[in-house]
Structures are given as C-alpha cells and as structure tokens.
Structure 1
Amino acid sequence: MKNLTNNFSSSYQPVKALLIYNKQTGEAEHNTIYVESYDIGKFGNPINAHPLSLKETLALSGLFQTAQELKTGFLRCRGLMPNKVLYVNNEKGGYAVWYTPPQEVTLFFSDSLGIKSGNGKVPAMIWRAGRESLAVYALKGNRKPTEKTALYHAPFFNIYHDGKVCMGNVRIDIGQETRLEDFMQQWEKYYWNSYFSHLMNDHNPVTENIVQLWQTQINTERTFPCQVLKPTNYTLKNLFL
C-alpha cells in the first residue's frame, strides 16, 4: 500500500476540485444543483473558485462517456449480430446464450475412462455463459431453436444435472471488455480443449452407457444418435431468466 501511494503521488497531480451544492426546496424533483469549480494551486490548495464553466462541463462529460463505454463494452458486437446468438444480457455481470449446429470436433478424454481422444460428431448445442461459468445443453435436429424448443442434457462428462460445466483446472480468463464474438469463441475453445474425466454426482446424461457410447463414436463417420439424449425440464426460454 505504501509503494502504491508513492507511485500514485508521483504520477498523478491534482488539478481540479468540484464542490456540489444542493438547494432543498421540499420537493426532490425541484431541488437545485450548483457546481463550483476550484483550480489546485502549486501547494495543493484549492484556489480560484468559480461556477463550473461550459468547457469544464464538456471535459467532465467526456470522462464519464469514456467510463461508460468501458463499462458497456462487454458482450457488445463489433458489427452485425452473429446468426448463432440467441440472447444477450449486459446487466448484472452479463451473459450470453448461443447455438451451434451438429458438428465434428476433437474430444479429449482422460486415460481413466478408457476412451481414445479423437474426432467425434456432436449434436446441436445451446451454450449459456457468463465471464466465469458455463452451462451447455443438447438439441435434437439441426434447426435453430425458438423459445419453446425443448432442451436435452448434453451427452458429455463433467456436467452437472442442471447443465453447469465443471471446468476443472482450466484457467478462465475473459476480460471485462471482451466483445461478443470473442466471448463465444473463447468459451467454445475452453470447452472443447478441456479433458472429459468423470460424471458429476453419478449423473448419466444419456439413456445408455456413456463410456461405451463414445468408444463407438470416436474416429468414425457416425452421426450422433440423438435418440439417446435425455430431456431436461427446460425450454430455451428458461435460459433467458
């Protein structure tokens, strides 16, 4: 703390101070605000008291605008909204919900499972993520979902019954200014590059033995057998709440 204070004092010097007056009128909506501005003298004392000028007001407004842009940059698009985006909430930390169609990905499995890592076809998926947590679900078919679309348990290891993912030792590093396109790309990369290792609380997300399922799927041309998916109690709309 001592070092921080010394560095701050040597790098930043006070130049302006504002004093805000509030004239009480008995009705809050009719209260009057007056702002008085002070320059800071060479000895650190306030001097030259005067009403806040237009130039000072514009400069102050620019600072607030910059701060607001930093605050709201998280999950904003660089351009057009990507087609796979379903919902974005920038409030209370922020989260996004998006869709990926059936695809082939590289899957990594811990040796203890007895499943060779390799390429496998996965079903369409729904992703719901904030800066520090991820939940995934599966869909039947390949159509882009609507609010009423039923969700199924994602047919993978390391997932709780409610869809939340245990990321294990994966280091999640998503900044406060991360744009939406990068946000989705980062989470998908984190997920597919992590190792599947075990079932969470003995939750088997499919109707058959999940180990045998992936042993027969990896490094083949088989599409994922969606008939083995187990339904959740959710529809897509539940993820927007």
Structure 2
Amino acid sequence: MTQSMNNFELQTGESAIVLSRAIMLYSRQGAQGSLGDFLYATQHKVENFGTEADPDFQIAAGQPVTREAIVAMFEQLAKQLTLNVDFLPENVLSISADHMVWWMPACERNVFFNTKELGKRAAKVPHPGLVFAVVKSNWYVFALTGSERPKLDTPLCHAPYFNVYDDGSICAGSAARPVGIATGAIPQWEAAFFDSEFTHINGGERKASHPRGEYALWKELLDGVYQQFPVEYLVPKESTIAGLMKAIRKLMERK
C-alpha cells in the first residue's frame, strides 16, 4: 500500500526537517481508533519515486513494528522534546519543550494596517520593548516601559496593538505561525506578528491611553510624529514577568 504526498517538510528554527518514516496503526473494523483500539502497527520508509526536480514522495511498503523499536523511538523523541541544546541568547527569558518567552528591545519595524479608520497603510514606526510568549498553542505579547532586559519584578503593560486581546493573546488571523519552539525561530515568530495586517481592536480594555484613542495614536505613529514610541501612553496590566511565568506554569499543567 502506498500513499502519494508532496515533498513534506517542517521548518523548525533555522533548519528544516523532512518526513522520512511513517507508522501505520491498525484496529478492528468499526473501532473508533482510540489508543486502546490499536492491535497492530507497521513502519514504512518514505521514498521519492519521482525525480529531484519533480519529486513524488510516497509511503513505501512496510514491515511489522516490534515492541523494542516502538520503545526506542519514543525514548528518542522524548529526549528531543525535553532537551533544548540551543544556545540561549540574552533576549530569551524562559524556555522549555512547551513554551518560550523572549524580550524584543524597543526598535523600529514596519507595520501594516487595513482598517476603516486608518485605511490601508504601511510604515516603519517605533515600537516599545515587548515580551512575547508562546505556550503550547497559545501566543501572547506584552509591552514594557523600560529599555533594559526585564527582570522578574518588571511590570507589564498591554501591548498597544490591534489584533491583541485583553489577556495579551494574539489573534493570528491569516498569519503563518512557525512550527515548533526554538530560539532560532524567534525571528519567524516576530515576523509573523509584524508582517500580518492589523485590522481591528480586540477586547474591551483600552490598550493605549492616548487622549484621542488608539486609532489616533497609530495615525500619529504612521505619520512619523514620534522618533521613539511614546511609552507614557502604555496602559499597565497590573502584572509582572513573575506573574506571567506563574500563568504560564498553570497553562502548561493543563492537559
């Protein structure tokens, strides 16, 4: 039995990984396919039956999987998921197999807007220091008033962006999120946030204290009024980096 597929690969940080083997699980006809239903397993190589220019990757004929092979495979996967051998740069605040928190210093980056109030606009504007967090399938961003690397007692502010909810979670929309958690993927996570269109304000809390509102703040930023982001308009979240870490631990404890 073979199954045709494209040249399937995943981008994980600075390198790509490709599909090389497949395991097929068999159960009785009519079973729901839950973990307790499987009775037999086969392992298969994934081979290119086409050419390098026109690949045709397929799951080739297989052979029975032994108990020893399954145990060895999952032990190896467990090591890969729990051990992170990336060099930890200064901007990484916390990392594990299921989460990563990092700091982006204040800088200038392009932003893209597509709203009724601002129209369709793009410009390179100043941004405050930011803290990003990826926890399992959740993605968050928060703002900082200071310019130094945050500590546990550093206060957090609402990120003053559209497409961000009151709890800091990011509405990804059509943004292509990177696969996997690795320090090498940080530029891709940041690009996924900044390269997507900001289309609407999420949540009920104000994300910026500009006297004429958030649209007025971003209009001024797009018009080049500020050389640095006006941090006096950031709204405190009544939380700190330590509070964020505590919330992350709770999320990671959920199944």
Q: Same fold by TM (over 0.5)?
A: yes
Partner residue, 1:36: none
Structure 2: give runs of 5+ residues left out of the alignment.
4-23, 27-40, 45-59, 247-255
Partner residue, 1:154: 159
Counterpart CA distance in 2 for 1:17 and 1:226 is 59
What is the CA-CA distance between 1:85 and the residue it aligns to?
0.5
Tell me which of 76, 80, 103 is aligned to 2:107: 103
Computing the radius of gyration from Cα coordinates, the structure with the larger value is 1
Describe the superposition over 1:137-166 as per-residue Cα deviations: whole angstroms up to 9, x where unpaired.
Answer: 110120111100100011111111111111
Q: Secondary structure at the match of 1:13?
A: strand
Q: Structure 1's 212 and 77: CA in aligned 2 closer, same or farther, altered over 3 A? A: farther
Partner residue, 2:190: 188
Partner residue, 2:236: 231
- Per the normalisation by structure 2, the TM-score is 0.65
Task: Report the residue type matching 2:92 in the other structure.
Answer: V
RMSD over equivalenced CA pairs, Å: 3.0
What is the CA-CA distance between 1:238 and the residue it aligns to?
1.4
Partner residue, 1:197: 199
Describe the superposition over 1:179-235 as per-residue Cα deviations: whole angstroms up to 9, x where unpaired.
Answer: 3222x2221111011111111134320112111111111252521110011100210
Tell me which of 20, 45, 68 is aligned to 2:78: 68
Tell me which of 160, 177, 193 is aligned to 1:172: 177
Tell me which of 163, 179, 204 is aligned to 2:168: 163
Q: Do structure 1's residue 212 and structure 2's residue 219 form an aligned pair?
A: no
> Identity of counterpart residues, as a percentage?
26
Tell me which of 94, 112, 136 is aligned to 1:87: 94
Q: Secondary structure at the match of 2:203?
A: helix
Q: Which has the higher helix share?
A: 1
Task: Tell me the number of residue pairs that the alignment of Structure 1 and Structure 2 aligns.
Answer: 192
Q: Structure 1's 77 and 122: CA in aligned 2 closer, same or farther, altered over 3 A? A: farther
Counterpart CA distance in 2 for 1:124 and 1:203 is 20
Partner residue, 2:63: 13
Counterpart CA distance in 1 for 2:234 and 2:141 is 13
Counterpart CA distance in 2 for 1:16 and 1:148 is 52
Partner residue, 1:135: 140
Partner residue, 1:118: 123
Q: Secondary structure at the match of 1:174?
A: coil
Structure 1: give runs of 5+ residues left out of the alignment.
19-58
Q: Which has the higher strand share?
A: 2
8 Å contact from structure 2 (residues 154, 241) kept in 1: yes
Partner residue, 1:44: none
